[in-house]
Structure 1
Amino acid sequence: MKAIIFDQFGAADVLKIGEVLEPVLRPHDLLVRTRAAGVNRADLTHRRGGYGRPDFGDSTIMGLEIAGDVIAVGDEVRGFAAGDRVMGIVGGGAYAEVSRIDYRMAMPIPASLDYVQAAAITEVFVTAHEALIHLGRLEARETVLVHAGAGGVGGAAVQLAHALGATVFATAQSSAHDLVHKLGADHAIDYEKEDFAEVIARLTEGRGVDLILDFIGAPYFERNVNSLGFGGRLVQIGIMGGIENAKMPLDRLLYRHLQIIGTVMKSRTQDVKHGMSRRFKERWLPEFAKGRLVPVIDSTFPLAAAGAAHKRMEDGLNVGKIVLTT
């Protein structure tokens, strides 16, 4: 089968299309004819060598998110059959014509969605659900600040928070404010021209928000803590801005009874990942079938152009998901 391979870590142009063996079917696996694969920032880190030469549980081939057709099922699989359209998070191997997925991570693709849309759902929406609701415990009528609200996970979090009935603040470039409002944000903050902490203080009359989802890290950390209200929660799900010189206002943490929670999906055990997928599927998958939640697609590239897809993401040009098609 054809797959994306590379011989050395480096820039996007190290990615090549080549021939590799198809994955071996195991008892709990589905073999899937991959029709589309989501591109995620973890793929960029993989290519640059940030994980070494990883095996995310299933494959050293890049890619963590697929949509396609089941072509074979393992002996212990329940609820799926050859010919089913499925989507889900995989332990590597998405950048290939055939991939395999633990059936407990797989979900049926709603009939109203095509493969490209399906490939743009699971990684970002499962992560957003876990951060917002399972860890962040967001409830209706609470307030949440979502950083990078026009990005993949950020945009998903804005939609889920709005659907839950929360008041949503989102940071984004001014050019993306129309999008984040469309996704459900009540207030859009231009992070390039505004200090989000000052905006939150003004709009909440100094109370702060109940929950913050942050992908940036050290440059936002102190302001995040200062933007939380009494009993507020900060869920840290990324460190795109770095980890150095993060300042902690301990008095605010102490006297406002704040909680700081970190989470990374890739390092979770398979059992935990099964639970994450199950919780998302049970609560939100019907909302996609009804059109109440929608994946946001930035662009599509053929599998052989994976390097160009990576370059677009690295250059910060995408608003929504980049998807590869096979």
Structure 2
Amino acid sequence: MKAITFDKFGASDVLKLGDAPEPVLRPDDLIVRTHAAGVNRADLTHRRGGYGWPDFGDSTIMGLEIAGEVIAVGANVTGFKFGDRVMGIVGGGAYAEISRIDHRMAMPIPAGLDYVQAAAITEVFVTAHEALLHLGKLQEGETVLIHAGAGGVGGAAVQLARAAGATVITTAQAGAHDLVRRMGAHHAIDYDNEDFAQVVAMLTGERGVDVILDFIGAPYFERNVNSLNFGGRLVQIGIMGGIENAKIPLDRLLYRHLHIIGTVMKSRSQEVKHAMSRRFKERWLSQFGKDGLMPVIDSVFPLAEAGAAQQRMEDGLNVGKIVLTM
């Protein structure tokens, strides 16, 4: 089969289209003819050497998110059959014509969605649901601040928060404000020209928000804590801005009874990942489609142009998901 390979860490041009052996079917697996694969920041970290040379549990081939057609079913599998359209998060191997997925991580593709749309759902929406609703315990009627609302996980979080009945505030570049409002944001903050903490204080009458979802890290940390309401929850889901010199106002943490929660899907056990996928599927899968939840697609590249796709993400040009097609 054709797959993206690389033999040294480095820039996006180390990625090459080559030949690789097809994955072997195990009892709990589905073998899938991959029609589309989502591009994620973890792929960039993998390419640059941030994980060393491990596989992700299933494959040394890059890629964590697939959509395709089942072509083989393991002996222990229930609920899926040959020919089913499926999507899901994989333990590596998405950047290939044939992939393998634990059936407990697989989901049927909702009617009316194509493979490109399906490949843009699971990584971002499962992550957003876990952070906002399972860990952050966002409730109807609460107010949430979602940073990077025009990004993949951020955009998914905006949609889920609005669907859950929350008041949604998000940060995004000014050019993406129309998009985040269409996705469900009530208020959009221009992070280039506005201090989000000041705007949040103004919008909430100094009360603060109940939940914050943050990808940035140290540069936002103190202001995030100061922007939380009594009993507020900060869910830290990324550190794109770095970890140095993060300041925490301990008095605010103490007297406002705040909660700070960190989460990274990659380091979770397989059993926890199964549960994350199941929780998302049970609550939200039926709500995808026309006039419902919908992934935002930034751009689509053929598999052979995986390097260009990753470079677009690395340059910060994408608004929504980048998808590869086979």
TM-score range, shorter chain: over 0.9
Quote the residue 1:288 is aligned against: 288
Quote the residue 1:151 is aligned against: 151
Query: How far 1:257 sits from its partner (Å)?
Result: 0.2
Question: Counterpart of 1:80 in 2: which secondary structure?
Answer: coil
Quote the residue 2:43 is aligned against: 43
Quote the residue 1:231 is aligned against: 231
Quote the residue 2:302 is aligned against: 302
Q: Which amino acid aligns with 1:257?
A: H
Paired with 1:199 and 1:103, the residues of 2 have a C-alpha distance of: 45
Query: How far 1:291 sits from its partner (Å)?
Result: 3.7
Q: Which amino acid aligns with 2:295?
A: P
Paired with 1:220 and 1:54, the residues of 2 have a C-alpha distance of: 32
Paired with 2:70 and 2:148, the residues of 1 have a C-alpha distance of: 34
Paired with 1:94 and 1:185, the residues of 2 have a C-alpha distance of: 31
Q: Is the 8 A contact 1:71 1:82 kept in 2?
A: yes
| Equivalent runs, 1:51-130 vs 2, <5 Å | 51-130=51-130
Q: Which amino acid aligns with 1:286?
A: S
Moved over 6 A (4+): none
Say which is worse superposed, 253-262 or 54-63, in terms of deviation.
Answer: 54-63
Paired with 1:293 and 1:27, the residues of 2 have a C-alpha distance of: 33
Query: How far 1:290 sits from its partner (Å)?
Result: 5.5
Query: How far 1:54 sits from its partner (Å)?
Result: 2.1
Query: How far 1:289 sits from its partner (Å)?
Result: 4.0
Quote the residue 2:132 is aligned against: 132
Query: How far 1:124 sits from its partner (Å)?
Result: 0.1
Q: Is the 8 A contact 1:46 1:54 kept in 2?
A: no
Paired with 1:292 and 1:21, the residues of 2 have a C-alpha distance of: 39
Question: Counterpart of 1:139 in 2: which secondary structure?
Answer: coil
C-alpha RMSD of matched pairs (Å):
0.6
Quote the residue 1:248 is aligned against: 248
Paired with 1:108 and 1:246, the residues of 2 have a C-alpha distance of: 42
Paired with 1:289 and 1:106, the residues of 2 have a C-alpha distance of: 18
Quote the residue 1:272 is aligned against: 272
Question: Counterpart of 2:277 in 1: which secondary structure?
Answer: helix
Q: Which amino acid aligns with 1:76?
A: N
Question: Counterpart of 2:154 in 1: which secondary structure?
Answer: helix
| Equivalent runs, 1:155-234 vs 2, <5 Å | 155-234=155-234
Q: Which amino acid aligns with 1:266?
A: K
Paired with 1:294 and 1:288, the residues of 2 have a C-alpha distance of: 6
Q: Which amino acid aligns with 1:25?
A: L
Gaps of 5+ in 1: none
Q: Which amino acid aligns with 1:185?
A: A
Paired with 1:190 and 1:137, the residues of 2 have a C-alpha distance of: 26
Q: Is the 8 A contact 1:89 1:101 kept in 2?
A: yes
Q: Which amino acid aligns with 2:97?
A: E
Question: Counterpart of 2:265 in 1: which secondary structure?
Answer: coil
Q: Which amino acid aligns with 1:124?
A: V
Question: Counterpart of 1:298 in 2: which secondary structure?
Answer: strand
Quote the residue 2:324 is aligned against: 324
Quote the residue 1:5 is aligned against: 5
TM-score (norm 1): 0.99
Question: Counterpart of 1:243 in 2: which secondary structure?
Answer: coil
Paired with 2:53 and 2:325, the residues of 1 have a C-alpha distance of: 24
Question: Counterpart of 2:80 in 1: which secondary structure?
Answer: coil
Query: How far 1:53 sits from its partner (Å)?
Result: 1.1
Q: Percent identity?
A: 81
Paired with 2:290 and 2:201, the residues of 1 have a C-alpha distance of: 36
Paired with 1:291 and 1:272, the residues of 2 have a C-alpha distance of: 31
Q: Work out whether 1:33 is the aligned partner of 2:30.
A: no
Paired with 1:203 and 1:24, the residues of 2 have a C-alpha distance of: 54
Gaps of 5+ in 2: none
Q: Is the 8 A contact 1:33 1:71 kept in 2?
A: yes
Question: Counterpart of 1:266 in 2: which secondary structure?
Answer: helix
Query: How far 1:22 sits from its partner (Å)?
Result: 0.2
Paired with 1:59 and 1:139, the residues of 2 have a C-alpha distance of: 38
Paired with 1:274 and 1:103, the residues of 2 have a C-alpha distance of: 9
Q: Deviations over 1:84-119 (max 9, x none)?
A: 000000000000000000000000001200000000
Q: Which amino acid aligns with 1:300?
A: V
Q: Work out whether 1:18 is the aligned partner of 2:14.
A: no
Q: How many residue pairs get matched?
A: 326
Query: How far 1:3 sits from its partner (Å)?
Result: 0.2
Question: Counterpart of 2:225 in 1: which secondary structure?
Answer: helix
